[in-house]
Chain A
């Protein structure tokens, strides 16, 4: 089961959504689909038409920048990061 870490801006939108959870998915895309099944509407928050990740949503798989088609293995750690900017 891959370990999924979500940004703090998501739980307020979806009651019961934890910041950390485990998913059994072959790709990032499948992991997001699983989230969407449990919390309907989640996919549209993270993914735009294409499909591709929204411009300010970044996904890191085992510390490497990934995309929807990035492959996961059972020991993967997936971090979903909402980009910030400013000084």
Chain B
């Protein structure tokens, strides 16, 4: 049972990440490889605020949100000069930079060894120390974020994002300053990712820079592509599938010597298979 609660927590956190990146990649067409950076900023802001400054978790989350919004605007401003593939490469570069900062700013971030002993959230005297209560907290947040995403994509603003994805030059001709729209959604996605980061930090109670590098960005991207681009439910399905698949493979009786490698092989094959036969992902609206 504890195991299932653990899985549910992880899936919820990754659902938030998937939802946040889907807004940027699936709806707006910006192939960003730096979402883990904002995930990490949220995690570190929470960790530092709680351990070094004794702040309350929820206040730390707000700080994380503000920090990630600011970094997103700064990073987004620089990246907005690039198109297509160069945008992606640039975002990739930014993730590397953020990871490097986390590793090297030892005095502040604890360097490569990271920050331990991050406490669970507490509110009005109640601490979410039990995993079940923590799950409820994360789940509620994930649901709220899901509804925010739905609101955004169903609004006129959401329609503009899709038009930018389809043909940015054409929608400009009809009177839209697309740069601001791209910056806005980049920041919104970053803010949501930082919320996921805050929960992650508190749940694991220990974070280190290696957890927020480009491999993680790639993983978040695969959740979005897998579950289906431009479909909010798809982001959640993608998270569930990609978290559960390796877990399910634990139960398949592979010979112990090569079990781990075999699992990775099966995992990789499953992804390839799905991309070959269903490039729009599980429930996606948009094929890359």
**A joins B in a complex:** no
Question: Using a CB–CB distance below 8 Å, which chain A residues touch chain B?
Answer: none
Question: Using a CB–CB distance below 8 Å, which chain B residues touch chain A?
Answer: none
